[in-house]
Amino acid sequence: MSSPASPSPALRTVRPALVLLGVLVVAVNLRAALAGYPPLLETIRADLGVGSGAAGLVQAGSVLMMSAGSFGAAALTARIGRERLLGIAVATIALGSALRSVAALPALVGGSVLVGLGIGIAGAQLTGVVKEHLADRAGAVTGAYVVAMMVGATVASAVAVPLAVLLGGWSLSLALWTVPALLALTVWLPVAARIGRSRPVTAGSVTAGSVAAGSATAGSGPVCAGTPEVRTWRDPFARWTACYLAGSSTAFYGWLTWLSPYYESQGWSPQVAGLLLAVWSVAQIPVALLVPAAAERRRRWRFWASLSVLSTVAGTAGALLAPAPETALPWLWTVLIGFGVGSGLPLGLTVIAWRTPTPARSAGISGFAMGIGYLAAGLGPLVMGLLIDVGGFGPAIGLLVAAGLVQGIAVARIGDRPA
C-alpha cells in the first residue's frame, strides 16, 4: 500500500518531457495574438474608419479580460481541475483568433475579448502545472516558458504586416494565430487526459495550496481562497507592490499597442514599424531570465528594480523628445524600453516571493497586485488612444513617463528590507 507521501500516479505515469512540451506550446500563445494586432492597427483604423480611441479599446478589452480571467481562475480550477481548465483556456484563445477573421469591428472586439480571457485563465494555470508536474526543474522550466511567450510575441510582431499582404487582409493575418492555438490544444489534451486517468478529479484533487500556487504568479484574485488574510489591500507592502506592477504593466501594454503606430506617424512603413516592435520583444528575453537571478544573488532588489525603471523611463523620454526617425535612435530607445519592461514583471513577482512568510500570503498579495496591474494595463492603451485623438502622441507617451515615475516611487518604498 502506498503511503500518503508517495508520488501521485500522475507524476509516475505522465512523462515530464511530455508535460514540458505541452507547457511550452501553450506558452507560445500567451502573447502572440496580442502582439499581432499593433503593427496592423493603423491599417485597421483606415479600413474600419475608427479613431485611435476605438482602436485602443480593442487592446484594452483584451487586457481587461486577462484581468477577469486571472481573478476567476482560482474558483474555476477548484471546480474543473487545472489541466482541463488549461485546455479550455487554449480553446478560447483559438476561438477568439478565429472570430477575428471577420473584417468588422464587432468581430474584432469580440474575438479580442475572447483571446484576452483565454490568456488570463491559461496564465493562471501554467505555474501550477509546473509546480505539480515539473517541480524539480521549476526554475528552468519557468524561464523556458517565459522565453516561449516572448518568442511568440516577437514572431507575431515581425510577421503581422507581411502576412496581411500575403493573405490579402489584416483580418486573415490576425486569424492565423488560430493555428498555433489549435496546435497547443492538440498537444495538451492528451497530457490532460493522461493526468486525468492517473489522478481522477475529486473534491480534494485541487487543494487550497495548489490554487494558491496558481494565483500567486498570475494574479487570480485579491484574496487567496480559504485563507484568513482578507484585507490584503490594507498591507502597505501589497499596495506599493500593486503600484509597481501597475506602472510596469502600463508601460508594457502601452508600448505593445502604440509603438508601431507611433513610428508610422513619424513616416515609417508598417513593415519597418512592425520590425521595431519585434526588436522590442527580443530585447526583453535576456533580462527576463538574468535580472531576477542577479537580484536574488545578493538580495539587491531595489538596485535592479531601479535600473529597470530608469531604463524604461529613459527609453520612453527619448522616444518622446527625440524620435529622430531618420537615425538609429528609435532602435536605441526601443531596446532601453524592452530592457525595462522585460525585467519589470519578473522582479515584481520575485519580491513578493521573498517578502511574504507563507504561500497563502504570497497568493493574496500577488493576486491583489497583479489584478491591479492588469487593470492598469487594460486602461492604459485605451486612455492613450483617447489622448492621441485629442492631442497627438505627446500626451499619450507622457502618460507612460508618469507611470514610470509611480513605479520608481514604489521601488523606493518597497526597498530591500528582509522578509
Kindly indicate the confidence band of residue 172, based on its pLDDT and cuts at 50, 70 and 90.
very high
Which cell numbers hold the place of 407?
513605479
Q: What's the CA gap between 131 and 145, in Å, rounded? A: 13
pLDDT of residue 263 exceeding 80, the answer is yes
Cα–Cα distances in angstroms (integers) from residue 169 to residues 108, 246, 332, in the given order: 13, 35, 31
Question: In the prediction, which pLDDT does 198 show?
Answer: 54
Cα(158)–Cα(324) distance, rounded to whole angstroms?
A: 22
Question: What's the half-sphere exposure (Cβ side, CA atoms, 13 Å) at 244?
Answer: 33
Q: Residue 234 is placed in which grid cell? A: 490594507
Q: 147 versus 227: which is more confidently predicted?
A: 147
Rounded to whole angstroms, the Cα distance separating 156 from 168 reads 17
Most confident of the ranges 116-125, 145-154, 391-400: 391-400
Digit-coded pLDDT (tens) for 279-324: 998 899 888 878 877 887 777 889 999 999 999 999 999 999 999 9
Q: Is the per-residue pLDDT at 12 higher than 80?
A: no
Of 402 and 216, the structure prediction assigns the larger pLDDT to 402
pLDDT at 200 over 60: no
CA distances (Å), origin 7, targets 10, 61, 81, 82, 189: 8, 42, 19, 18, 22
When comparing pLDDT for 189 and 197, which is higher? 189
Helix locations, 49-203, DSSP H? 52-80, 82-99, 105-133, 138-167, 170-175, 178-198
Q: How confident is the model at residue 210 (pLDDT cuts 50, 70, 90)?
A: very low
- pLDDT band for 131, please (50, 70, 90 cuts): low
Q: What pLDDT shows up at residue 358? A: 63
Per-residue pLDDT averaged across 88-93, rounded? Answer: 95
% of the chain at pLDDT higher than 90 = 38
In tens, the pLDDT along 51-90 reads: 877 887 787 788 888 888 877 777 787 788 888 889 999 9
Q: Phi-psi category of 226—alpha, beta or left, where left has phi over 0 and alpha has psi -120 to 50?
A: left
Ramachandran region, residue 299 (left: φ > 0; alpha: ψ -120 to 50; beta: rest): left
The answer to whether residue 227 scores a pLDDT higher than 70 is no
Mean pLDDT of 211-218: 36
CB 69 within 8 A of CB 124: yes
pLDDT at residue 3 in the model? 43
User: Model-level pTM?
Assistant: 0.72
Look at residue 266 and tell me whether its pLDDT is greater than 70. Answer: yes
- The answer to whether residues 70 and 134 touch, using CB atoms and an 8 Å cutoff, is no
Higher-scoring residue by pLDDT: 359, 415 = 415
Q: Looking at residue 2, what is its pLDDT?
A: 42
Average pLDDT over every residue of 136-150: 70
Maximum Cα–Cα distance across the chain: 73
Any residues with CB less than 8 A from the CB of 129 and at least 6 apart, and which? 19, 23, 82, 83, 86
What count of residues does the chain have? 419
> What is the distance between the alpha carbons of residues 415 and 223, in angstroms, rounded to a whole number?
24
390-400 average pLDDT score: 94
Share the mean pLDDT of the chain: 81
Helices 41-48/52-80 angle, 10° precision: 110
Q: What is the pLDDT of residue 208?
A: 36
Task: Please give the grid coordinates belonging to residue 401.
Answer: 513617463
Question: What's the pLDDT tens digit per position in 20-32?
Answer: 888 899 999 988 9
Whether the per-residue pLDDT at 240 is higher than 50: the answer is yes
Residue 3 cell numbers, joined: 503511503
Give the angle 54-60-64 at the CA atoms, nearest 5°. Answer: 140
Q: What is the pLDDT of residues 340-371, one digit of tens each?
A: 998 888 788 778 767 777 655 665 676 677 77
